[in-house]
Amino acid sequence: MENLNEKNSLPVDRQINKIIAIAKYKFWWGRKAIFNYCIKTVPGCDERVSEKERMRYSTSALFQKLTKAEKSLIIQRLEQIEKRNIIARADARAVGDSCHEDI
């Protein structure tokens, strides 16, 4: 049985939810940044999006046109960025801690 969204009875796409969860709630990206990142990450994706959708930064229209493999690629890239950010923060803390040590 399909998992349906209660509001409009559309199938829930867990990949889209994952993309939004990382980009919007971890990186604090807006709709425009998410749209542009997806267009930049997926080769040939910009050709499938109409000018009207591009002007409105319509992420819902964009996500509908992406395949599962393309959404998976976006998730993988976002997770790589997330891991790099975690490592960079840990390195920054380590450098900050070493500056406060007595010589």
3-50 pLDDT tens trace: 554 554 455 689 999 999 999 999 999 999 999 999 999 999 999 999
In a domain, 34, yes or no: yes
In a domain, 4, yes or no: no
Q: Residue 64: pLDDT above 60? A: yes
Name the domain count of the chain.
Answer: 1
Handedness of CA 49, 50, 51, 57 (dihedral sign): negative
In a domain, 93, yes or no: yes
Q: What is the mean pLDDT of residues 82-97?
A: 85
In a domain, 45, yes or no: yes
pLDDT band at 98 (very low <50, low <70, confident <90, very high): low
In a domain, 59, yes or no: yes
Strand partners, 11: 4
In a domain, 6, yes or no: no
Q: What is the mean pLDDT of residues 75-92?
A: 93
In a domain, 7, yes or no: no
**Where in the sequence is the domain holding 35, given as residue range(s)?**
14-99
Q: How far apart are CA 42 and CA 96, in angstroms?
A: 37
